[in-house]
Structure 1
Amino acid sequence: MNPSPTCGDVIDAISAYLPVLYFTFSRGRTELLADELGRQWDFLNPGEKNDVRELIRRAETDNPGLFGPRRKNLRRLLQQGIGYHHAGLSPLLKDLVERLYESRLVFVLFCTETFAVGVNFPAASTVFDSCRKWDGREFRSLLNREFFQMAGRAGRRGFDPVGRVYVRIDERFPDQTGFFQEEQVEPVRGRLVISPNTVLSLLHWKTDDEIKRFLERNLAVFQNSRESRQIKNELDGLEMRAGELTQCFCPDRGQPCCQLFRLKLRRELNQLGKRKRRHRPGTKERKEEIHSLMQTARKKCQYKACVDAERKVRRLEDRMHLLHQRVRQLEKHSRNYGRDFENVWRLLERLGYIQDRELLPRGLFALYVHVQEILVTELVFSGILFEVPPVEAVAILAGVDYQPGRDEQVVPPAFNLDRVVHLRQLLLQNGVPEQFCTWSPLPAALAAAWYEGAGFDQLLAMCNLQEGDVFSVLRREIDLLRQMERAAGQDHLLAQLVQDLRRALDRDEVAVMGV
């Protein structure tokens, strides 16, 4: 095989072990590799092609325009037994690809790692296009648990005696594989987030003692405390062992007469004699000093026992150094959840959500909102959502908790969203952390157009987002509107407004995945 084999090379080499899940770490690469393979391979016989066409026909009968202008290549690839699957596909297309795969009509499926999470789709083989991924901050090697989550899809019960896992080695990163150990799979770490809703819920439903127990006995605290105790016990044992070993050293250790010390001096002398260090300032003087020290007579003793002990002590010290580093890491990442709780509580008091332990109207509303609760509450209580036309209210709420990707583009809306920008700036100035008031104007025009009756193809023409991302924008807003409807309580005007907005959005293709 070539130093950096193509996907065609890989499939050719493992063609006896299909179907295969071919994992990549970008949406675009799943499509690129599927297209590349489609120019070389066709896995289906005429009967299987007819079965694929029939399943596609049924899907399109229920959902005209299923493939749309962007996915015509996927229709062709599926009829060759090749597919791709990622979060950018519409839910209906993902469902079709999954049904074809389950029907054994897709022999090579290019997919992102999300395909390996939560859904049981085994294969005869799995292939890794790479063992490096972008984690949002940097390119890094896969964790053991990430690798085995995907590799574990190889091997179908009742079909394959063994599952086969292959990694395409990039000649630029020859060390990217061979280091995954199942016994070293990283544990799942608990992570408690103290959000405004967390604080409001605890204060509303729990006693002081129950809150204290919740903050002190959650999984994250337990895991950190347990690991810290284990490290302390190991350090105690290592220090005791090192102490026992050092008892064999005599008082002359480190003196010129000590053979251990003299061995170190000889090693240093050898280093100083190398060409790259020979002419450095101070080298000549240090060599003379070492020669002078070596003139001292060596002590007659059984020094080999000391050499062995020192080697063992050095290994113990290396291990202790690593453990101390881990302790510092745990301390750095440990959270004082009691302090976090108090900080958010004081913030909510300043903003008028709480008085002592009593929830005020803002707090009672935010109690039932589970995403960006402060921002959503302020949009309601500031009157902004009532003072703008419904289409603008829909546009505003679409941006709640939205974090645009680097290259995402959407046509701007026909109206001004400066009031929301100003409200968000006021919240930040009043000490609300950035993560508690995340909002973007980018999806506004999409939600507005959908509210006014635009078709899904029209939405796609307004942006460079993929179908799945547009679905996600609209479904998340529908879910937020449900929360707001519940939070409205006896405020019938607000409840009617958000209900009308939700019903206008929850239609056609988007409603298919609704509840």
Structure 2
Amino acid sequence: IQGYGIGKLKHLKNLREYAKRQTGKKRKTKQKDDSFLDQDLGDKQQNKNTTKLKEDIIETDLIPYLRKKKQLPCLYFCFSRKRCESNAHFFASLHELKLLDRKKQEQILEQFDALCIQFDIVEEKLITSFRKLIACGIAYHHAGMLPTLKEVVERLFTSGLIQLLFTTETFAVGINMPACTVVFDSLEKFDGVNFRYLKAREYHQMAGRAGRRGIDTVGYVYAQVDPQYATYTDVSKTISDKIEPITSQFNLSYSSILNLYEKYGDDIYDVYTMSLSNHQNYKRIADLNNQITQLEEEQQSLPVPTCIHDNINGMKQIEGYHQFKRKNAKKRENLQVELATFKSRTSRGKSRKKELKKKTAPLYRKMKRLNTELSKNLCHDCYQRPECTSRYQAIRKTEHYVNNIKKRQTNIADFQRDQIAARLNVLETLGYVEEQKLLPRGNTASHLYGYELQLTQLLFRGFFERLNEDEINCLLIAIVSEPRKDGYFKRLKHKRILSILGAAWNEIVDIQSVENGHDVSEITPLLELRLCSAMLAWSRGCEFDTLTDYAALDPGDFVRTFRLVIDQLRQIRRAMTGHTALIDKLNRCIAKINRDVVDAERQLRIGQDDLFEDEKDNKSEQNGGEIHG
């Protein structure tokens, strides 16, 4: 692995700071030239005219270096969609960076145009700007793109014509498309909570794409590291540390529990003991046991408080002193509050002062008594009290650690078993199981994978019979959508659908109430209404390009969410075998959503047709231009 910005970090230039200084010089010059105009235009226009450094782009000569060393094509991993796009446009704007000669440029544009026609995406908004990137041998790839456009990019990259592909880490999983070089835009990523360095497993998963079998003898890996923030230890841990072990993500859903309960009954707990999760829990418990043993040995070696007075247990004495001191301080605090209250209520004047003195005298006597009681304690004025306190705190701190670890042990040992029992209790309360048998609701839910409780409750409450196709689609997208904190979403104003969603909301609240009553750890999520307007418009036949009027989502996110709704509708259809009228309605629901770019089978058919045409061409060439039956 060849490191750019890894190893001797002091040799890496801080390009960001340099760029800021250069931009600052340009900014000052421009402000001087336009100063008299800016006075009249105001702050808003002044800010508009001021050149601002793009914080999300680090200028670098790495790509020209790769081109010079003939280390292209390159997979350039970024950890946000926006960064993939901005980096691609930035490098495409560098006129001195020529990654393709004229012949290859014509070749890649010809293939791109043909694929866009084949996948029927010529009229999509992004195609014009994307074509400019392709002409430079540059592209980007992330989950927010249309699946058809991602397919086009993947085919062009496979052809070897795309020289620089900016992509998120998902490209390294499940897609076998290696390159000569891999570049990391950063070794840090945001995991949804905090920024952290890549784990060794994540790093090697992506770095492993460097080097094409049968083409490259060496694969090159580079990482951009800012020495102002990075440390050698952090970077070294990412690229050189041992790969983390696989950890179980065991989490039995209601559907899984129903299927296992139908087959094994109460022996479902024995089935869990055969899982990887249980095996790893045994190891965690053993590790915690070792920690407890080590801490208890340390505790035995800690010095114990000793009292200078005869026949006094030093540990009990100093512990009692601190307990008494805390209670004493609390009582004095309460007395201070009472005194302040009396003073605030008493008006000025000699007679009032006498009255105040009379009322507060008992309080002052109590405070004096508390101080006297504290001073009489053997430890209060003892010269050895600081040392005894230090020893006492060290022992209690170790005991606290041991108790916490023991609680963790108990939680690990019992958690999954307790959660299975809790979920079974929920299913029994809601009428899904009885005496180790599945009831009708349980049979239905056992055929649904994901959102099984919400869907089953709504099915048995008659929602799907009463609603029309558009209303069902809106209800489903409210169930499957994940909460989003930001971005524009058009509010749903359809009164009937809002009433339906309100009734469904109450059904889910009832489910949550039962789950909370049985201490289920992950309760059923409530409805998410932000995409309902977009789904209603799509179900009624709007164009795909107009969906951004209803929600600020990337095209790929619309497609993925709509396909998730289709998947749930198909599961319900499969679970409702024999209910002809409902199945027909569900088919109409699917047909309203599964069109244009949302239709995954259409994309697959187009790809297969292309492969079939290639086979025909190959046979034609082998047979002198004729195809024989």
Give TM class, smaller chain: 0.7 to 0.9
Aligned counterparts, 1:138-157, within 5 A: 138-157=194-213
Aligned counterparts, 1:372-411, within 5 A: 372-411=451-490
One-letter code of the match for 2:417?
G
In structure 2, how many angstroms separate the alpha carbons of the residues matched to 1:152 and 1:485? 42
Residue 276 of structure 2 corresponds to 219
User: Does 1:28 pair with 2:112?
Assistant: no
Aligned counterparts, 1:287-366, within 5 A: 336-366=415-445
One-letter code of the match for 2:510?
L
**What runs of 5+ residues in structure 1 fail to find an aligned partner?**
247-285, 291-321
Alpha-carbon RMSD:
3.1
1:427 aligned residue (511, 514, 538)? 511
In structure 1, how many angstroms separate the alpha carbons of the residues matched to 2:592 and 2:576? 19
Residue 11 of structure 1 corresponds to 63
Residue 264 of structure 2 corresponds to 206
Q: Could you list the per-position Cα deviations for residues 339-398 of structure 1 after superposition, in whole angstroms to 9, with x for gaps in the alignment? A: 111100100111111122221121111111101111111221222232233211111101
CA separation of 1:359 and 1:328: change in aligned 2, threshold 3 A: closer
Shift of 1:57: 1.8
User: Does 1:133 pair with 2:192?
Assistant: no
Shift of 1:510: 1.3
CA separation of 1:508 and 1:357: change in aligned 2, threshold 3 A: same
Shift of 1:166: 1.2
Shift of 1:13: 3.1
Asked if the contact 1:59/1:66 (under 8 Å) is kept, the reply is no
One-letter code of the match for 1:382?
R
CA separation of 1:363 and 1:87: change in aligned 2, threshold 3 A: same
Residue 565 of structure 2 corresponds to 477
Shift of 1:232: 5.6
**Secondary structure of 2:230's match?**
coil
Shift of 1:212: 3.0
One-letter code of the match for 2:263?
W
Residue 159 of structure 1 corresponds to 215
Asked if the contact 2:505/2:526 (under 8 Å) is kept, the reply is no
In structure 2, how many angstroms separate the alpha carbons of the residues matched to 1:32 and 1:107? 17
User: Does 1:507 pair with 2:595?
Assistant: yes
One-letter code of the match for 1:467?
P
Shift of 1:406: 2.4
User: Does 1:446 pair with 2:534?
Assistant: yes
User: Does 1:461 pair with 2:545?
Assistant: no
Shift of 1:229: 4.0
**Secondary structure of 1:42's match?**
coil
Asked if the contact 2:200/2:241 (under 8 Å) is kept, the reply is no
| The structure with more radius of gyration | 2
**Secondary structure of 1:192's match?**
coil
Asked if the contact 1:4/1:169 (under 8 Å) is kept, the reply is no
Q: Could you list the per-position Cα deviations for residues 401-423 of structure 1 after superposition, in whole angstroms to 9, with x for gaps in the alignment? A: 31133223332334223222333
Shift of 1:513: 4.3
Asked if the contact 2:261/2:436 (under 8 Å) is kept, the reply is yes
Residue 412 of structure 1 corresponds to 491
Query: Higher mean Cα deviation, 165-174 or 3-12?
Result: 3-12
In structure 1, how many angstroms separate the alpha carbons of the residues matched to 2:411 and 2:243? 23
**Secondary structure of 1:184's match?**
coil
CA separation of 1:45 and 1:324: change in aligned 2, threshold 3 A: farther
Q: Could you list the per-position Cα deviations for residues 119-176 of structure 1 after superposition, in whole angstroms to 9, with x for gaps in the alignment? A: 1111111111111111111111111111111111112222222222111112442225
Instruction: Report the TM-score when normalising by structure 1.
Output: 0.78
One-letter code of the match for 2:476?
L
**Secondary structure of 1:165's match?**
strand
Shift of 1:439: 2.6
One-letter code of the match for 1:2?
K
Residue 119 of structure 1 corresponds to 175
2:235 aligned residue (154, 177, 197)? 177
Asked if the contact 2:266/2:436 (under 8 Å) is kept, the reply is no
In structure 1, how many angstroms separate the alpha carbons of the residues matched to 2:414 and 2:116? 51
Asked if the contact 2:73/2:180 (under 8 Å) is kept, the reply is yes
In structure 2, how many angstroms separate the alpha carbons of the residues matched to 1:84 and 1:44? 17
The aligned length equals 441
Structure showing the higher helix proportion among its residues: 2
Asked if the contact 2:281/2:412 (under 8 Å) is kept, the reply is no
In structure 1, how many angstroms separate the alpha carbons of the residues matched to 2:154 and 2:113? 16
Shift of 1:14: 2.8
Asked if the contact 2:451/2:479 (under 8 Å) is kept, the reply is yes
Shift of 1:95: 0.7
CA separation of 1:61 and 1:143: change in aligned 2, threshold 3 A: same
Residue 193 of structure 1 corresponds to 251
Asked if the contact 1:216/1:337 (under 8 Å) is kept, the reply is no
**Secondary structure of 2:529's match?**
coil
Q: Could you list the per-position Cα deviations for residues 77-121 of structure 1 after superposition, in whole angstroms to 9, with x for gaps in the alignment? A: 011111111100011111111111111111111111111111111
Asked if the contact 2:141/2:153 (under 8 Å) is kept, the reply is yes
Identity of aligned residues (%): 30
In structure 1, how many angstroms separate the alpha carbons of the residues matched to 2:415 and 2:123? 50
Instruction: Report the TM-score when normalising by structure 2.
Output: 0.64
Residue 352 of structure 2 corresponds to none
In structure 1, how many angstroms separate the alpha carbons of the residues matched to 2:187 and 2:160? 27
Aligned counterparts, 1:274-289, within 5 A: none
In structure 2, how many angstroms separate the alpha carbons of the residues matched to 1:165 and 1:327? 45
One-letter code of the match for 1:338?
R
**Secondary structure of 1:399's match?**
helix
**Secondary structure of 1:177's match?**
helix
1:437 aligned residue (521, 525, 533)? 525
Asked if the contact 1:8/1:37 (under 8 Å) is kept, the reply is no
Shift of 1:10: 2.2
CA separation of 1:235 and 1:335: change in aligned 2, threshold 3 A: closer
Query: Higher mean Cα deviation, 27-36 or 165-174?
Result: 165-174
**Secondary structure of 1:156's match?**
coil
One-letter code of the match for 1:430?
V
2:148 aligned residue (68, 92, 99)? 92
One-letter code of the match for 1:336?
F
In structure 1, how many angstroms separate the alpha carbons of the residues matched to 2:403 and 2:223? 35
In structure 2, how many angstroms separate the alpha carbons of the residues matched to 1:324 and 1:155? 51
